[in-house]
Amino acid sequence: MIHYTAMDCAQAAIDWLCNPEAEVSAHYVIAPDGQVTQLVAEEMRAWHAGVGNWQGRGDVNSRSIGIELSNKGDHPFAAKQMEALEVLLRGIMQRWSIGPESVIGHSDMSPGRKIDPGPKFDWLRLAREGLAIWQDHEPADADWESCAAQLGYDLENPNSFDAFRARFRPWAEGPCDAEDARVAARLLQVAGRD
């Protein structure tokens, strides 16, 4: 699961995540210069996800690896940081047999409560490297709710659509439309769930 720290620098985030009083943690922090700091062993539970669910299951902390990117979410992520993330993700995905459809943002599992990694995060870049999913260009007709539920979004959360759109169509405005449904259907094709 990808997050941004929303703090001034990577060291401030590391200090906070290592402070027992904070009651939060993450497995990794990646600085803008690409430095990767591991805070929690991958096989251990870190407290990065909070309340939410993905693919119909809660307690996401117990079944995810949290990666914090040092960024406030208001500007693009540094090239060296993205390169380090790609290397880290490849290793994690290989070690844990994780497919690209299971690489998610905090906002995917907790829409309305969390917005990170936000609209400045380059999901398309990760998808081009096989590290996340992105829509292909095949036309598809579908129902957004049905496809979004199959992808893993919790439709009981009224903010799920906003989280979906923030990740896959951040430029779009207005209510859910046919293109949102087509995007969701194409994502299902890419994830092999159609």
Residue 190 — very low, low, confident or very high, per pLDDT cuts 50/70/90? confident
On whether the CB atoms of residues 92 and 42 are closer than 8 A, the answer is yes
Place of tokens 């994502």: 187
How crowded is the C-beta side of 1, counted as CA atoms within 13 Å?
29
Convert the pLDDT of each residue in 139-158 to its tens digit.
Answer: 556 899 999 999 999 999 99
Give pTM, 2 decimals.
0.81
Two tokens at 104?
A: 């998610």
Which amino acid type is present at position 126? Answer: L
Q: Domain of residue 107: give its range.
A: 2-191
Q: Distance between CA 107 and CA 115 in Å, rounded? A: 5
Number of domains in the chain: 1
Check which CATH number belongs to the domain holding 59 and give it: 3.40.80.10
Catalytic residue among 21, 23, 43, 68: 68
Q: Does the annotation count 43 as an active-site position?
A: no
Closest CA to 84 of 36, 14, 123, 116: 36
